[in-house]
Amino acid sequence: MRPVHHPAAADFDLASVLYALGDTVRLGIARRLAGGREMSCAVAAGDAERLPKSTLSFHFKVLRDAGLIRTRKSGVMVMSTLRRAELDARFPGLLASVLGTPATGTQRRRERKL
Amino acid sequence: MRPVHHPAAADFDLASVLYALGDTVRLGIARRLAGGREMSCAVAAGDAERLPKSTLSFHFKVLRDAGLIRTRKSGVMVMSTLRRAELDARFPGLLASVLGTPATGTQRRRERKL
DNA sequence: TTCAATAGTTCAATAATATTGGACTATTGA
DNA sequence: TCAATAGTCCAATATTATTGAACTATTGAA
């Protein structure tokens, strides 16, 4: 397996992030990872697990390339986590509205400017 | 020109909305419309105006089909507006985080009319 | 240590989408 | 009536996504 690349948060591109989330399979994966738990591909895929493995592998790559997830090999499995804090820092409010979960560990200032 | 279709807000699909915004040309159009002004295709396209008209026409259709914009014919032009209120109601916070503009109807201390 | 099972990845072929040129339509102002 | 304007529509081409099949790496058991 080739070494995978994870973009730096500074290189996140909004259009790429939205594109990555603009697919029901990938959106489902992101939602499952939104709980914060690290999951294998098969588990994160959930009901989409019935898709061919090559297709899922492709979807995980799209998510990884856009910066949405970080993956690491653990034994025979590839474990994924949502890059929540980095995404929240770069695109405040985005994941909260898309995934329906509040930002993790975000220290809220006393007042937020609109 | 065939009659165009605008989906009802209840039929908006999050993945479709994200997909529509997940393209630099379409994201640019949405951003330009985020000010609330109604614009012709050419104006809303902004710097992407150099693209072929047929390509732009396709992008506007994607935005319209996803429910992001509403279009109407006015004279020789097709005018577009962002379906801001309906999108805000259906996907709270989404456009605010994507377009960097607060939701319409958000009460600030002093409201300024456009 | 060898082996089979597991959990993916990679590649190449095919299927599905996006882009585009060119012909077309509707509206307007001269 | 006519030419200009602002797009739309269509069919060909270019680009992407999906997939089967072969492959890799790791593990647990024999």
Residue range B88-110: mean pLDDT, rounded: 79
Confidence at B73, pLDDT banded by 50, 70, 90: very high
Interfacial A residues in 20-59 facing B (CB < 8 Å): 20-24, 27
Q: Please say if the pLDDT value at position A112 is more than 70.
A: no
Nearest residue in chain A measured CA to CA from B89: A97
Q: pLDDT per residue over A41-91, tens digit each?
A: 999 999 888 999 999 999 999 999 999 999 999 999 999 999 999 999 999
Query: How large is the average pLDDT for residues B2-11?
Result: 94
The arithmetic mean of pLDDT across residues A83-109, rounded, is 83
Q: Any idea which residue has 């592998």 for tokens?
A: A57
Helix (H) or strand (E) holding A72: strand A69-74
- Output the six-digit token pair for A45: 């895929």
Per-residue model confidence as pLDDT tens digits over B18-68: 999 999 999 999 999 999 999 999 999 998 889 999 999 999 999 999 999
Strand pairing partners for B39? B80
For residue A13, count CB atoms less than 10 angstroms from its CB and return exposed for 0-12, middle for 13-18, buried for 19 or more: middle
Residues of A with Cβ-Cβ distance to B97 under 8 angstroms: 91-94, 96-97
Inter-chain touch B96–A98, beta carbons under 8 Å: no
What is the rounded distance in angstroms from the CA atom of residue B10 to the CA atom of residue B41?
26
CB pairs under 8 A between A and B: 61
Residues A34, A39, A44, CA angle at the centre, nearest 5°? 70
A23, two tokens: 């697919």
Predicted pLDDT of residue A63? 98
> Do B41 and B80 contact (CB within 8 A), yes or no?
yes
Residue B80: pLDDT band (50, 70, 90) is very high
Answer whether residue B108 shows pLDDT above 70: no
Nearest residue to nucleotide D25 when comparing alpha carbons to its C1'?
Answer: A76
Instruction: Identify the pLDDT of residue B1.
Output: 82
Cβ atoms of residues B79 and B69 within 8 Å: no
Tokens read off for B19: 């997909």
| Cβ-based contacts of B93 with chain A (< 8 Å) | 93, 96-97
CATH class of the domain defined by A10-96: mainly alpha
What are the residues facing B69 on neighbouring strands? B82
User: Top-level CATH class of B11-99?
Assistant: mainly alpha
pLDDT in tens, A1-14: 888 999 999 999 99
Q: Judge contact between B64 and B4, C-beta under 8 A.
A: yes
* Structural contact between residues A70 and A83, judged by C-beta atoms closer than 8 angstroms: yes
Extents of the domains making up chain B: 11-99
CB atoms closer than 10 angstroms to residue B83 = 23
